[in-house]
Structure 1
Amino acid sequence: MTTTHIAGPSLDAVLRERTRTRLRPRYEGANICTWIGFKHVNYLVEEAVLEHLRAGGLAPGGLYERYGLGVDLVDLDTRILHAFHVDDVVLAEVTAIDPVGGELVFSVVLHVDGDEPVRAATARVRVVLRQDSDNAPEVPPELRPVTTAAIRRAERVSTAAPGGNEFHWRWRIPYFYCHFTERLQMSGYLRLMEEAVDLFLEQRGISIRTLLDEQDWIPVVPRSRVTILDEVRMEQEVDLVFTVENVFKGLTYDARLDWYVQDQGERRHVAVGRITHGYALIENRRDWRLVEFDERMLGALSASPAGAGAARGRGRTAAGEPRE
C-alpha cells in the first residue's frame, strides 16, 4: 500500500490536502466467485480515510496513545458503481470537506486500477475524535473543535415509524466487533447489517444459498449507509429491526435497519442504516448481469409471513433466548 504523504502533523493539512492511496480488497470479502461484497468495499473506504489521517500526522494509534482520542467513523454513505474483484488494485482518493457540527467530513472516490482506471465507488464519510473518559490528557487546541466527550447524534435522523414488513433480531455485541476497548465500531455495524439481510432472506424463503442453487442469482448492493447516533458498548444486547421500505421497478429494493439498546430502562435508538439490493445472474466465474425480480422474489419482499418476528439460526431470538 502506498500513500501520498503530507509533511508534519497538521489538522489544517488533513482538511486542505488531497491524498491518493493504493489498496487491495481483503481476501475475506470474495464470498461468491471473485467479487468483493459491499462490506469490504466499505472497508476500503474506511482504510482510505485512515490513511489520509496518517498522511497528515494524525495517525489513529498515535492520537489514542498520546491524547486518548479514538477515531470514530460515525456516518458512512457509499455508492458502488462497478464490481470489485479480489485481485484488483484500488486507487483511493480522499478529499476533506469543511467540518460540519464538530465532525470531519471526507469525500472518497475509489477507482479500479488498470490501463484505463474505472470509477468504481464513491463515499461520504463523517469522523469524530472521541475522547476517553478515564484519565484523558489535555487535547491540543487545534483538535478540540472536532473532539467530543461522547457520541450523541440522535437528533440527526427521524425516529423509525412502525411498519408491517419488518424482521426483528437481537444480538449480544462481542468484543471483536468493538474498538478502543469498549465501543461498537463502524465495521461492526456493517457486519450486523450484512447478517440481518442474510437472516431476513432466509426467513422469507429466498436465502442466498437457495437462489444460488436454484437460479444462479446473487444479491448486489449499489448503495449502503450507516449512521451512528449513540454509543453501544461491548456485551450490550442490541435489538435490530430490518424493514423493507419499497421495491423500485422490480429491479431493486430499499431497506432500513434500526439498532436499539435497553439501557437502565430506556430504549435508545443508537444507529440507522439503509441498504439497496438488486440481483444478478452469474454468467461465468467472472461476469454477471442484473435481472428483474420474479414473482417469488416480489412476494417475499412484500409479505410478512407468519413468524416474522423471530430470527432463526444464529444469535438470539426476538425474545432474547439462545437458539439451538
Structure 2
Amino acid sequence: MNKLLEAEVIDSKVFETLLSRDNVKTFQMYPRFEGCNINTYIGFKHVMYLSEEAVIQYYREHGVIPRRLYEDHGICFDLVDHNIRILHGLKLDDLVDIEVQPKKTENKEMVFAFRMFVDRDGKKIKAATGTIAVMFKQHDGVTDFEQAPDFVQPFIVSKLDRTGRFQAPREPLFDPSAGRGEVNPDDSLISQVYKPEDNVFVWKWHIPYIYCHYTKFMQMSGYVRIMEEVADLFWADRGISIYTYLDTRQWIPVVPSAKITMLQDAIMEETIYTVFRMDYIFRESTYTHIMDCYVERDGNLVHVATGEISHGYAKNVSRKEWKLVTFDDVTMDALNNVNKK
C-alpha cells in the first residue's frame, strides 16, 4: 500500500509548518512527453501542469493527501487560482527544479508562490514564476464521512464562491455574428453579459466529464485546456490556419504568460460559454486575450471563471531554437477583426 496513505492524515503541527513562509521545498520533475508541441519545446499548458503537481506534492509531503481528504472526510482539494509567467522555454527531457513557498492565507485560501529553474549550458536559469491558490471544499453529496480535523476546518468551504473579490461580468461589447459552434445571432443568453460591436469570440459547448474531478466538478486543468483550445478556435474563426502559418512561414504561437481564476463551481455537462476578448496588442509582437466562462442556469448566465493569456508568434530558426517575430498586416487585421462583417 502507498506509504502516504498508511499514515494518519494531517498532523496539526505539520499543518502549521505547511503554511509557514519559511518552509520552502524544491521538487525535481520532467515535463510530460505529451506537452512537446513546438519541436522539443513544452507548451504552456504542461508548464502549468508542472507547477500544479509541485504544489500538490508539497501538500503530500506534509501529510495532506488529496485522496485521504476526500475518502476519509469528503473534502475536495481544489486549485482555484493559477497565475504563471514563462521566462524561458522548457524543453523535452529538461529536469526542472520547482521551488514551492507558502505566500499567504486569506479568505480560506492558501496561496503558494512557485519558481522553476532549468539548466542551460551549465547555468541555472529561472524559467517560470507564479502563484497558485488552494481551497478545501466539502463535497455536496457527502453525508457519511468522518468529521475533518479541527485544524483543517478554518479552510473548508461548503461551496466555491469567489465572485465577491472580482468585478464580473466584464464590460466588452459583443457581436453575435462572430460566434462559433452553437452560438448564433439568435442566442439571447449571451446578450446578458455582452453587447454588440466589439472584438469578441464566443464558443458554446458542454462541459465533458474528462475535464472534471471529484465525480462532477470542473477543475483547474479543465480551464487550462479550454484556454488552449479557444485560442485555436479563435484563429480559425479569423481565417488564419496555425498549420498554414507554420508551413508557409515557420511561425507558431507561443505563450509568455497566462492566468485563470475560478469563481464558482461548474458542473459536468452544463452548457458553458467561453468568451474570448482581445484586450491589447503590445508593440505588434504580443497580444493579450481575456477569457470569461459562463454556464447556463435557469435561463441566466453564471460567471464561473475568468483569466487572461498572452500570445506571440515565434519563427522556427532551427530544430533547437525559435525567435519572436513582429506581426505583419494580415496578422494584425485578424487580431483586430477589421474584416468583420
Asked if Structure 1 and Structure 2 have the same fold, meaning a TM-score greater than 0.5 normalized by the shorter chain, the answer is yes
Q: Deviations over 1:111-147 (max 9, x none)?
A: 1146322110001111101111221431211111111
Structure 1 counterpart of 2:133, one-letter code: R
In the alignment, the residues of structure 1 paired with residue 124 and residue 166 of structure 2 have an alpha-carbon distance, to the nearest angstrom, of 36
Aligned to 2:135: 128
For residue 239 of structure 2, the aligned residue among 205, 213, 222 is 205
In the alignment, the residues of structure 2 paired with residue 22 and residue 206 of structure 1 have an alpha-carbon distance, to the nearest angstrom, of 38
Aligned to 2:19: 15
For residue 102 of structure 1, the aligned residue among 108, 119, 124 is 108
Aligned to 2:151: 142
RMSD: 1.5
In the alignment, the residues of structure 2 paired with residue 304 and residue 125 of structure 1 have an alpha-carbon distance, to the nearest angstrom, of 37
In the alignment, the residues of structure 2 paired with residue 101 and residue 240 of structure 1 have an alpha-carbon distance, to the nearest angstrom, of 27
Secondary structure at the residue paired with 1:141? Answer: coil
Contact 1:72/1:128 (<8 A) preserved:
yes
In the alignment, the residues of structure 1 paired with residue 166 and residue 308 of structure 2 have an alpha-carbon distance, to the nearest angstrom, of 12
Secondary structure at the residue paired with 1:107? Answer: strand
User: How many residues end up aligned between the 2 structures?
Assistant: 301
Aligned to 2:182: none
Q: Which stretches of structure 1, 4 residues or longer, exceed 4 Å deviation after superposition?
A: 304-307
In the TM superposition, residue 52 of structure 1 has moved relative to its aligned partner by 0.4
Structure 2 counterpart of 1:15, one-letter code: L
In the TM superposition, residue 62 of structure 1 has moved relative to its aligned partner by 1.5
Aligned to 1:112: 118
Q: 1:169 to 1:304 in 2, by over 3 A?
A: farther
Unaligned runs of 5+ in 1: 1-7, 308-324
Contact 2:172/2:277 (<8 A) preserved:
no
In the alignment, the residues of structure 2 paired with residue 182 and residue 199 of structure 1 have an alpha-carbon distance, to the nearest angstrom, of 26
In the alignment, the residues of structure 2 paired with residue 264 and residue 37 of structure 1 have an alpha-carbon distance, to the nearest angstrom, of 37
Contact 1:76/1:123 (<8 A) preserved:
yes
1:230 aligns with 2:264: yes
Structure 2 counterpart of 1:283, one-letter code: V
Aligned to 2:6: none
Secondary structure at the residue paired with 1:50? Answer: helix
Secondary structure at the residue paired with 1:117? Answer: strand
For residue 59 of structure 2, the aligned residue among 46, 53, 57 is 53
In the alignment, the residues of structure 2 paired with residue 246 and residue 160 of structure 1 have an alpha-carbon distance, to the nearest angstrom, of 15
Secondary structure at the residue paired with 2:19? Answer: helix
Contact 2:285/2:327 (<8 A) preserved:
yes
Q: Deviations over 1:9-41 (max 9, x none)?
A: 422121122111110100111122111000000
In the alignment, the residues of structure 1 paired with residue 258 and residue 308 of structure 2 have an alpha-carbon distance, to the nearest angstrom, of 6
In the TM superposition, residue 264 of structure 1 has moved relative to its aligned partner by 2.1
Listed as ranges, the matches of 1:1-324 within 5 Å are 9=11, 10-16=14-20, 17-113=23-119, 115-133=122-140, 134-135=142-143, 136-158=145-167, 159-163=169-173, 164-303=198-337, 305-306=339-340
Secondary structure at the residue paired with 1:284? Answer: coil
Contact 1:91/1:113 (<8 A) preserved:
no
In the TM superposition, residue 63 of structure 1 has moved relative to its aligned partner by 1.2
In the alignment, the residues of structure 1 paired with residue 296 and residue 146 of structure 2 have an alpha-carbon distance, to the nearest angstrom, of 31
Q: 1:34 to 1:174 in 2, by over 3 A?
A: same
In the TM superposition, residue 306 of structure 1 has moved relative to its aligned partner by 4.3
Q: Which moved more, 1:277-286 or 1:109-118?
A: 109-118
Q: Deviations over 1:208-246 (max 9, x none)?
A: 112101110111111100000000011111001100111
In the alignment, the residues of structure 2 paired with residue 199 and residue 72 of structure 1 have an alpha-carbon distance, to the nearest angstrom, of 28
Q: Which moved more, 1:257-266 or 1:101-110?
A: 257-266
Structure 2 counterpart of 1:24, one-letter code: Y
In the TM superposition, residue 68 of structure 1 has moved relative to its aligned partner by 1.1
In the alignment, the residues of structure 1 paired with residue 165 and residue 45 of structure 2 have an alpha-carbon distance, to the nearest angstrom, of 23
Structure 1 counterpart of 2:171, one-letter code: A
TM-score (norm: length of structure 2): 0.85
Unaligned runs of 5+ in 2: 1-9, 174-197
Structure 2 counterpart of 1:61, one-letter code: R
Aligned to 2:4: none
Q: 1:113 to 1:62 in 2, by over 3 A?
A: farther
In the alignment, the residues of structure 2 paired with residue 108 and residue 176 of structure 1 have an alpha-carbon distance, to the nearest angstrom, of 27
Secondary structure at the residue paired with 1:300? Answer: helix
Secondary structure at the residue paired with 2:38? Answer: coil
In the TM superposition, residue 305 of structure 1 has moved relative to its aligned partner by 4.4
Secondary structure at the residue paired with 1:118? Answer: strand
